[in-house]
Amino acid sequence: MKKRVLAAAAAVAIAGPLLLAGSSQADPTTTPNGPWPPNDKENLSSIHSYEQLWGTLESIEKRAKGTFSVEPAPLQSNTGRDIPVVTVGDGPTSVMFIANQHGNEYVVSTGMVEVVRALAGNSASAREIRENLTVTIVPRVNVDGFDADVVDLAGNTTPWRQNFDTDCPAFCGFYADGRGYDINRYHSYTESAYDHPYEPGPDTNNPVPEAIAMRLLWDERQPEFSVDFHHQGTYVDDDGRMITGSVMWPNAEEEAENLGISEEFAETVTLSKRVVSEMLVNLNDLGHANITRYPGTTTPGIARNAYGLLGSGSVLYEARGGIGQKSRGYLAKQAYIAGMSVLSAAADGSLFTRSTEPADTIRERGDSVPNPHE
C-alpha cells in the first residue's frame, strides 16, 4: 500500500506538464455557490488528523447559522473511535454525502469539510439549502484506515485503504490479510443493516462496523440521493489530457432483476444520472476539470450499488489520486463544487427534472499513467 502511494505521487510528477498544457488558466475562478472561503489555501492544504477533524467540525458548529449538529455515527469504528456525522438544515428533502471510506483517499474529505463550512454560513445559497434540504455529511468514514495508531501484520502503518481488523473468521473476500476489510464492499442492501452481503440469506454476520454504521444512517435519514466520494489513480483521456475525476451511477441491474425490482432500480439510475449531470455541467465551468465515466463494477455491496438497490439515487465520485501537495487544493475544491452544485440544484428543485444528457454522453475513462520507476 505504501508502495502504491509512492508510485502514484511519482505519476503526478510525470503527468504534471500534461495538466498545464491542457489548461488555459492557472486558477479556477468559477464557483456556483458564492465565494470559496478566503483562507482556502490554509484550509485546503491541511489534512485533518482524527482529533483535528472533530475539532474543526465542532468549531464550525459553534458559529453555525441555522440547524447544525455534529454527532457520532450509529456505530463506532472497529477500534472504537467515533465517526463524525454532520447534519445541516431541516428541510423536507434528505441528501447524504459520505467520503473517505478508503483510508488513503483523504483529499475529498477536506472538500467535504469545506462543504460543511459553506453550508453553516450566512450566504443566500446556504440558507436556501438549509431551508429545503436536510444534508447529512460524513467527511471521513474510515477514521481508522486514515490515521489509527496501529500496525498491520506485515508491519505497515496507516493510511491505507481498509479499516483495521486483524481477524477474519469466514467469507474473507475483500479482506486484506492481517489488516482489515474494504469498507466499501460490505454495505448491506437487504432488510437488515447487519446482513453480510456475501453470505446467502438473511443474517447478522456483517463484519464491518463502519459499513453497518453508514447503512444505519441511511435507514435513519432515508436520503433522496447519496454521493460517495473517493480517489482513483491518475489517468489521461484520448487527447492526453489528465483526467481530474470520474463519476458513475448504480449498475447492479442483474441483482435488481434477481430481487424483482428492475423498474424501481431504473428510476434510481435516472435520478443518479441527473445528479451526475448536474455535477458535470458545474465542473466543466471549473478551469481544467476533466471528468469521465468511472468503469464501475456491478458488485452489489459497494455503496453506489447498495444504496441504489435500496431505492435512493446513488453516485460515486472519484477524484484523481496520486496526490501531490500542490494539487490537493484543486482536488478538494473540485469535490466541493461537485457537492455544492447538486445541493443547490436539489434545494431549488431543478435537479429532479433536469436532463440526463450530460451523463448519457459522458466519455469513458482513458489509460492509467504508468509509473516509469516501477
Q: Shortest approach of Zn ion to residue 230 CB, angstroms? A: 3
Q: Alpha-carbon Rg of the chain, whole angstroms?
A: 19
Instruction: Find the farthest-apart pair of alpha carbons in the chain and give their distance in angstroms, rounded.
Output: 55
56, 83, 105, 334: residue in contact with Zn ion (rule CB under 5 A):
105
Q: Shortest approach of Zn ion to residue 105 CB, angstroms? A: 5
Q: How many CA atoms lie within 13 A of 10 on its CB side?
A: 11
Site for Zn ion in 234-263 (CB under 5 A): none
Closer CB to Zn ion, 105 or 144, in the complex: 105
Closer CB to Zn ion, 70 or 302, in the complex: 302
Closer CB to Zn ion, 102 or 365, in the complex: 102
Q: Shortest approach of Zn ion to residue 151 CB, angstroms? A: 22
Task: Check: CB of residue 273 under 8 Å from CB of residue 249.
Answer: yes
Find the residue with minimal CB distance to Zn ion: 230
Candidates 101-109, 191-199, 201-209, 340-348; binding stretch for Zn ion (CB under 5 A): 101-109
CA–CA separation, 47 and 65 (whole Å): 25
**Binding string, 54-93, against Zn ion, x = CB under 5 A?**
----------------------------------------
Q: Shortest approach of Zn ion to residue 231 CB, angstroms? A: 6
Long-range contacts of 24-27 (CB under 8 A, 24+ apart): 24/287, 24/288, 25/287, 25/288, 27/287
Helix residue ranges per DSSP H, 23-92: 40-45, 50-63
Candidates 36-44, 104-112, 246-254, 263-271; binding stretch for Zn ion (CB under 5 A): 104-112
Q: Shortest approach of Zn ion to residue 225 CB, angstroms? A: 19
Tell me how far the alpha carbon of residue 107 is from its chain's centroid: 10
Task: Check: CB of residue 338 under 8 Å from CB of residue 280.
Answer: no
CA–CA separation, 226 and 249 (whole Å): 10
Q: Does residue 230 bind Zn ion (CB under 5 A)?
A: yes
Kind plus residue range of the DSSP H or E element containing 247: strand 245-248
Closer CB to Zn ion, 3 or 63, in the complex: 3
> What cell numbers appear for 308 in the block?
441504489
Closer CB to Zn ion, 224 or 228, in the complex: 228
> What cell numbers appear for 217 in the block?
444512517
Closer CB to Zn ion, 32 or 180, in the complex: 180
CA–CA separation, 157 and 229 (whole Å): 23
Closer CB to Zn ion, 36 or 317, in the complex: 317
Q: Does residue 102 bind Zn ion (CB under 5 A)?
A: yes
Q: How many CA atoms lie within 13 A of 126 on its CB side?
A: 19
Candidates 8-16, 102-110, 128-136, 244-252; binding stretch for Zn ion (CB under 5 A): 102-110
Binding site for Zn ion (CB under 5 A): 102, 105, 230
